[in-house]
Amino acid sequence: MKVITFGEIMLRLATPGHQRFSQAASFNASFGGGEANVAVSLANYGIETEYITRLPRNDLGEAVLMELRKYNVGTKHILRGGDRLGIYFLETGSVARPSKVLYDRAHSSAAAIEKGMIDWDNVFADAGWFHWTGITPAISEGAADVCLEALKAARKKGLTVSCDLNFRKNLWLWGKKASEVMPSLVEECDIILGNEEDAEKIFGIRSLTADITAGDVKGEHYETVCRQLSERFPRARKVIITLRGSVSADHNTWSGVLFDGLRLYEAPVYQITHIVDRVGGGDSFMAGLIYGLLTYSDDDQKALNFAVAASCLKHTIHGDFNLVSAAEVEQLMKGDASGRVIR
């Protein structure tokens, strides 16, 4: 099945090691963005993918295309135009100091997108799945309009639609709140993914018993969140919550739950004790979930376990992209977390 993802990809400028912005004399450059990260992961697993975005007609736009093609992500429907590529700056935290992200993406080519620019009927002609995130409607009113346009076209074509709620309070600056825009978009979704806080920040739905700062986030605390999301959005067949407990910036617990309308599935809990890079962790989970639901279509537990294991491995890799194979994820699922050299 071909998977389409739609959103903005940016230039990522990260301070070396754990340096602060004020210390850095140079930055490590790469590319990343929620929906692009999902497409790259799926391509690594052998799933045919196509990424939809809008890039400027300059050398940075060309560099993005080359990067995506390197990972076998389809780029034939990418639009060209607009003024610039968005940028985000990353300062990686350590111990009690959290990481920081600064955005410089105003007036980017993707933010300036408008309805009618993309021929969605053509894009979806040979596809079976469409994925978007809550970041896209946050960046501009035009992007929100195009997102709804895409969702209507995907629904008409009968595609499975998945969403990562991905609430980013610093992006909703164009005049409307997430709580005003997201409900009509999420209503079109078959699969809804969020983290411990997304449902609360967007819809006012929260767990009354969980404490994410205590480093011990239990799945049963989020069954009520899943049930309320299912009731709010009855089209959704599955609601998934990622569970991150923050012991420190370097040590997180990591798991997830999946609710199918009747039963709550809980994944194993991983102790990620020496985080290399947690950016893209949720995207790697989403890609693992899509792969799992496609590959283990009659086994939601195995699909969830694949997603959690895939995302656990992402925390060991620099950059936004999760550069692991399905075989490596399955190895971790079997319990091999030794990290021993493979010869």
pLDDT band at 121 (very low <50, low <70, confident <90, very high): very high
pLDDT band at 177 (very low <50, low <70, confident <90, very high): very high
For residues 87-95, average pLDDT: 94
Tens-place pLDDT, residues 268-315: 999 999 999 999 999 999 999 999 999 999 999 999 999 999 999 999
| pLDDT reading at 207 higher than 90 | no
Q: Which fold has domain 3-333?
A: UDP-N-acetylmuramoyl-L-alanine:D-glutamate ligase (3.40.1190)
3-state class percentages of the chain: helix first, strand second, coil last, to nearest 5: 35, 20, 45
pLDDT of residue 197: 87
Give the amino acid at 32.
G
CB atoms within 10 A of CB 160: 19
Q: Quick check: 30 and 319 in contact, CB under 8 A?
A: yes
The H or E element containing residue 224 is helix 223-232
For residues 215-233, average pLDDT: 87
Q: Give the Cα separation of 274 and 15 in Å (integer).
A: 18
Q: Quick check: 137 and 113 in contact, CB under 8 A?
A: no
Tens-place pLDDT, residues 298-311: 999 999 999 999 99
What does the domain layout of the chain look like in residue ranges? Answer: 3-333
Residues β-bridged to residue 102 = 89
Contacts of 2 (CB under 8 A, 6+ apart): 47, 48, 49, 50, 126, 127, 128, 129
pLDDT band at 158 (very low <50, low <70, confident <90, very high): very high
Structure-block tokens of residue 329: 């994820």
Q: Give the Cα separation of 285 and 303 in Å (integer).
A: 10
Q: Give the Cα separation of 162 and 288 in Å (integer).
A: 13
Q: Give the Cα separation of 169 and 117 in Å (integer).
A: 27
Give the amino acid at 299.
D
pLDDT band at 343 (very low <50, low <70, confident <90, very high): very low
For residues 211-235, average pLDDT: 83
